[in-house]
């Protein structure tokens, strides 16, 4: 399935070459000018299939971003989501990050769409809808018998690093930084990889 743009939503495979750069071009059209951004990274670092959000939050923090809610060791999850969301200033533009499940052909694809994030949908939980822009990563396959949570740690790492790189590069370009940083996986702390791979 090719990368697609439908209204204010698109998918891109994180394993494709130049995925980060392609996503930057799309993302720049969705971010509002002159609004401060809060990054709401949903999930828990205790479950591999749900670590995407906290991992993105930690990588964004390492790359100098501010206003991050949800990191490894300080997760935003079902029990505290409402509390964190209530503390976000109303004037902020909120980008919500969360793992998702879907069809097998979309496994490993990052979905960006304008609108709220609905955490817990994949496991039939109704949680508080949050965010102005949703970035989700398909890490599990929905099958007839339920969710296939046999997730690939390397794919999660790839998805999180591509996502974090995309966010920082896009914001730097919008801020008119002449030479946006080039993000490679080597720059990230090995401790995060240890959490994934043991």
pLDDT for position 6: 38
The answer to the question of residue 3 being in a domain is: no
Domain count, the chain: 1
The answer to the question of residue 12 being in a domain is: no
| Residue 173 near residue 155, CB atoms below 8 Å | no
Task: Name the residue range of residue 114's domain.
Answer: 22-197
The answer to the question of residue 71 being in a domain is: yes
The answer to the question of residue 5 being in a domain is: no
Which of 29-33, 64-68, 128-132, 191-195 is most confident? 64-68
Q: If DSSP codes are grouped into helix, strand and coil, which group holds residue 30?
A: coil
- β-strand 4-6 against 9-13: which pairing, if any? antiparallel
> pLDDT category, 103, cuts 50, 70, 90?
confident
- Name the β-bridge partners of 144: none
CATH, residue 121: 3.40.50
Of the listed ranges 47-56, 118-127, 174-183, the least confidently predicted one is: 174-183
The answer to the question of residue 8 being in a domain is: no
The predicted model gives 177-190 an average pLDDT of 50
| Residue 11 near residue 17, CB atoms below 8 Å | no
The predicted model gives 115-135 an average pLDDT of 82
The answer to the question of residue 189 being in a domain is: yes
The answer to the question of residue 186 being in a domain is: yes
pLDDT tens digits for range 48-88: 889 999 999 999 999 999 999 999 999 999 899 999 999 99
pLDDT for position 114: 92
Angle at 79 between CA 74 and CA 82, to 5 degrees: 90
Task: Give, for 19, the enclosing helix (H) or strand (E).
Answer: helix 19-27
Q: Is the pLDDT of residue 3 over 60?
A: no
The answer to the question of residue 63 being in a domain is: yes
What does pLDDT average to over the chain?
82
Task: Tell me the pTM.
Answer: 0.85
């Amino acid at each position: 399935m090719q990368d697609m743009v439908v209204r204010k939503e698109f998918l891109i495979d994180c394993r494709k070459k130049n995925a980060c750069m392609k996503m930057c071009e799309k993302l720049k059209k969705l971010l509002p000018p002159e609004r401060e951004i809060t990054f709401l990274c949903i999930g828990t670092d205790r479950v591999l299939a749900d670590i995407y959000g906290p991992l993105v939050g930690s990588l964004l923090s390492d790359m100098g971003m501010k206003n991050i809610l949800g990191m490894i060791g300080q997760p935003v999850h079902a029990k505290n989501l409402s509390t964190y969301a209530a503390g976000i200033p109303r004037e902020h533009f909120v980008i919500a990050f969360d793992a998702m499940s879907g069809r097998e052909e979309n496994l490993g694809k990052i979905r960006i769409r304008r609108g709220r994030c609905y955490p817990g949908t994949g496991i039939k939980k109704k949680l508080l809808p949050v965010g102005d822009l949703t970035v989700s990563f398909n890490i599990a396959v929905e099958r007839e018998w339920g969710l296939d949570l046999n997730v690939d740690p390397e794919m999660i790492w790839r998805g999180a690093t591509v996502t974090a790189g995309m966010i920082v590069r896009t914001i730097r370009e919008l801020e008119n930084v002449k030479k946006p940083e080039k993000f490679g996986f080597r720059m990230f702390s090995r401790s995060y990889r240890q959490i994934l791979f043991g």
